[in-house]
A and B are shown apart, each in its own frame.
Chain A
């Protein structure tokens, strides 16, 4: 039996097929992660007409241009605040920010921790390829120590951010990390993230053969995936402090946090617009606002090794 020629792909209804092939290099993992995202959407029956994708700038930032839904390709680092404004104005729509590590955590770092702190009801998919791919492979806040990039030609002397750990402690409701190799588990996590009311965050470690791999003995995309295969350790309720990624050492993937649902930022903003709420006493309003902030409880259980279940 040979391969059967096809003209359409099962995910085509979610894609702007007229724009394919996409801009990403051969073997880049962004398309893989986008596929996982669209499968998760399909699985949970999320209506693309009611779904918005917001991207920033960079390779991953181009994702918004390929999905057949209302999509916004904004400025560098500002996808999150754009999405926060949009979601607050239109809580009826599903809002996802799909962007890269540099966009979300360097230039946009302040925004993402504040969106997590507010528990804004958006999903953030952060593709972490350890570098700035679009501009040719410069040092990112995620580049592993000793990593060679065009702006760290002697090896990176900085410590990288532990993205999932950072967002877990910042106040998110759901946090997971996978790699572009863990496609099925990634899909499952994305389903949960999309369904979660509150700030959900999925970090996906991914290969950049062209700009990062090439300079770090992973020229072939397969090399990076083999690296993930070798070093990724699947774990759940990961202590955020254990999320650090060091070169040539095991690193954790899995669910960091799945906190119980509680009123989201938008729920609270809209509650304020109800006349009956405005006319209750300050004491009653305070009670409502602080009623459910259980994120920290769950987090401290995880950190103290008591597990993340209720």
Chain B
């Protein structure tokens, strides 16, 4: 049996499932720094990558980890790192470099409660806005949020596919509870896994940042005489620094537009009992699991409730939420209201907020109370 895809049913934690998803997606380079609750991703990669011809490096810190995966990606390898809040903060600088230089990589952030060191071993979902706006400048983020180990596997593959397609770092925004949750994970055979690979530039005379129709430029290989120059400075199509407003408008406009243009294709959500619902709970990650239970309990109590689960957090599914805006809304998340801001912006009214500062997931009863308040 091939070692890269461990076909079959396994009992895995979310962290380990994410690592297996990466390997199945073709990830052959990992650089990271230990941090709870994401260390199991690195540990699994350290054991597994050599078996499949991949390279694992434990770097000196998260700044280095992020830089190293960008270097490896330019070296032609699919590359990933994994971290949690404090490390995610340190990675923001080179996350920006990845956006600016259009480098496909995947960053796994297993969220814990913050700010700062916060609750290293306990749940938080407070990095939603950081995943959107964490590095400076104007850009579009892509972030996915799994609710189960199975989704950790599936969505890591999807994260790589999106990264490769759009040439941009993609964030897998897990949380501690999902990361440490053990469940059955079914790994399908290779032929059932869709894999997207970056477009490779072949024409040496073409400017390296000249985009195709989809606004994504094919990625030049290195060591083959292209003589490319890649910089974090604002650059023109040749890749050369061009420090002026006109280039900024054109080039940064494009790296935003390449995501915006296809946002509808990237957006992904699950609607559970939403059709006839008078009140909709918006949740993601581990919170969605409590919310699902709360929705069932509400239905048992005669309230027509539904769950709108964000599978992709960024880009945000504003269009669909706007279509549903004639219903009442509850937003549940383990922070002080981050997705809440986007939901209210989409539905153009207030939602009932059921937040927690972190440390434990919601009890379904807590969300149920929010549902009852919304229909009052």
Question: In the complex, are there CB atoms of A and B closer than 8 Å?
Answer: yes
Q: In the bound complex, do residue B60 and residue A114 qualify as a contact, i.e. CB atoms below 8 Å apart?
A: yes
A182 shortest CB reach to chain B, Å: 29
Judged by a CB distance under 8 angstroms, whether B312 is at the interface is no
Q: Which of B67-75, B247-255, B268-276 touches A? A: B67-75
**Within B228-277, which residues are at the interface with A (CB < 8 Å)?**
228-233, 240-241
A96 shortest CB reach to chain B, Å: 13
Considering residues B55, B68, B74, which has the most beta carbons from chain A within 10 angstroms of its beta carbon?
A: B68
Judged by a CB distance under 8 angstroms, whether B355 is at the interface is no
Judged by a CB distance under 8 angstroms, whether B79 is at the interface is yes
A114 contacts across to B, CB distance below 8 A:
59-60, 64
Q: In the bound complex, do residue A90 and residue B76 qualify as a contact, i.e. CB atoms below 8 Å apart?
A: yes
Q: In the bound complex, do residue A88 and residue B57 qualify as a contact, i.e. CB atoms below 8 Å apart?
A: yes
Q: In the bound complex, do residue A89 and residue B71 qualify as a contact, i.e. CB atoms below 8 Å apart?
A: yes
Encode B78-105 as 1/0 by CB contact (under 8 A) with A.
0100000000000001101100000000
Q: In the bound complex, do residue B240 and residue A85 qualify as a contact, i.e. CB atoms below 8 Å apart?
A: no
B228 contacts across to A, CB distance below 8 A:
70-71
Considering residues B79, B94, B231, which has the most beta carbons from chain A within 10 angstroms of its beta carbon?
A: B231
Q: A70-B226, A73-B229, A92-B223 are in contact. Are A84 and B54 (CB under 8 A)?
A: no
Judged by a CB distance under 8 angstroms, whether A110 is at the interface is yes
Majority SS at the chain A contact face:
helix
Q: Which of A64, A73, A78, A87 interacts with B93 by CB under 8 Å?
A: A78
**Chain B, interface size: which category?**
35 or more
Judged by a CB distance under 8 angstroms, whether B225 is at the interface is yes
**Within A62-77, which residues are at the interface with B (CB < 8 Å)?**
64-65, 68-75, 77
Q: In the bound complex, do residue A69 and residue B227 qualify as a contact, i.e. CB atoms below 8 Å apart?
A: yes
Considering residues A50, A84, A110, which has the most beta carbons from chain B within 10 angstroms of its beta carbon?
A: A84
Q: In the bound complex, do residue B222 and residue A90 qualify as a contact, i.e. CB atoms below 8 Å apart?
A: yes
**Within A45-87, which residues are at the interface with B (CB < 8 Å)?**
48-50, 52, 54, 64-65, 68-75, 77-78, 80-87
A269 to B67, CA, bound (A): 18
Q: In the bound complex, do residue A89 and residue B227 qualify as a contact, i.e. CB atoms below 8 Å apart?
A: no
Q: A70-B226, A70-B227, A111-B60 are in contact. Are A89 and B55 (CB under 8 A)?
A: yes
A16 contacts across to B, CB distance below 8 A:
227, 229
Q: In the bound complex, do residue A71 and residue B29 qualify as a contact, i.e. CB atoms below 8 Å apart?
A: no
**Chain A, interface size: which category?**
35 or more
Q: A81-B59, A88-B57, A89-B76 are in contact. Are A68 and B50 (CB under 8 A)?
A: no
Q: In the bound complex, do residue B229 and residue A88 qualify as a contact, i.e. CB atoms below 8 Å apart?
A: no
Judged by a CB distance under 8 angstroms, whether B53 is at the interface is yes
Judged by a CB distance under 8 angstroms, whether A2 is at the interface is no
B225 contacts across to A, CB distance below 8 A:
49
A47 shortest CB reach to chain B, Å: 9
Q: A65-B229, A111-B60 are in contact. Are A70 and B222 (CB under 8 A)?
A: yes
Q: In the bound complex, do residue A74 and residue B232 qualify as a contact, i.e. CB atoms below 8 Å apart?
A: yes
Judged by a CB distance under 8 angstroms, whether B63 is at the interface is yes
Q: In the bound complex, do residue A273 and residue B64 qualify as a contact, i.e. CB atoms below 8 Å apart?
A: no
Majority SS at the chain B contact face:
mixed
Judged by a CB distance under 8 angstroms, whether B373 is at the interface is no
A78 to B94, CA, bound (A): 8
Judged by a CB distance under 8 angstroms, whether A222 is at the interface is no
Judged by a CB distance under 8 angstroms, whether A278 is at the interface is yes
Q: In the bound complex, do residue B230 and residue A88 qualify as a contact, i.e. CB atoms below 8 Å apart?
A: no
Q: In the bound complex, do residue B67 and residue A71 qualify as a contact, i.e. CB atoms below 8 Å apart?
A: no
Q: In the bound complex, do residue A85 and residue B230 qualify as a contact, i.e. CB atoms below 8 Å apart?
A: no
B230 contacts across to A, CB distance below 8 A:
71-73
Q: Looking across the interface, which residue of chain A has its beta carbon closest to that of B53?
A: A273
Q: Looking across the interface, which residue of chain A has its beta carbon closest to that of B229?
A: A71
A70 contacts across to B, CB distance below 8 A:
222-223, 226-229
Q: In the bound complex, do residue B64 and residue A81 qualify as a contact, i.e. CB atoms below 8 Å apart?
A: yes
Q: A82-B67, A85-B71 are in contact. Are A93 and B222 (CB under 8 A)?
A: yes
Q: In the bound complex, do residue A88 and residue B64 qualify as a contact, i.e. CB atoms below 8 Å apart?
A: no
Considering residues B29, B64, B224, B231, which has the most beta carbons from chain A within 10 angstroms of its beta carbon?
A: B64
Q: In the bound complex, do residue B55 and residue A88 qualify as a contact, i.e. CB atoms below 8 Å apart?
A: yes
Encode A90-121 as 1/0 by CB contact (under 8 A) with B.
10110000000000000000110010000000
Q: Looking across the interface, which residue of chain B has its beta carbon closest to that of A269?
A: B55
A84 to B24, CA, bound (A): 25
B229 contacts across to A, CB distance below 8 A:
16, 64-65, 70-73
Given contacts A85-B79, A89-B29, A93-B75, 20 further A-B contacts (CB under 8 A): A48-B227, A49-B225, A49-B227, A70-B226, A72-B229, A74-B97, A75-B67, A75-B93, A77-B63, A78-B64, A78-B97, A81-B65, A82-B71, A84-B68, A86-B75, A87-B71, A89-B71, A111-B60, A111-B64, A269-B56
Query: When A and B form their complex, which 5 residue pairs have the shortest distance between CB atoms, in order from nearest?
Result: A85-B68, A85-B71, A89-B75, A86-B71, A81-B64
**A-B residue pairs in contact (CB < 8 Å), sample of 18:** A48-B227, A49-B227, A71-B229, A74-B94, A80-B67, A81-B68, A83-B71, A84-B71, A85-B57, A86-B71, A88-B29, A88-B68, A89-B71, A90-B75, A111-B64, A111-B67, A114-B64, A270-B55
Q: Which residues of B contact A (CB under 8 A)?
A: 29, 31, 49-51, 53-57, 59-61, 63-65, 67-72, 74-77, 79, 93-94, 96-97, 222-233, 240-241
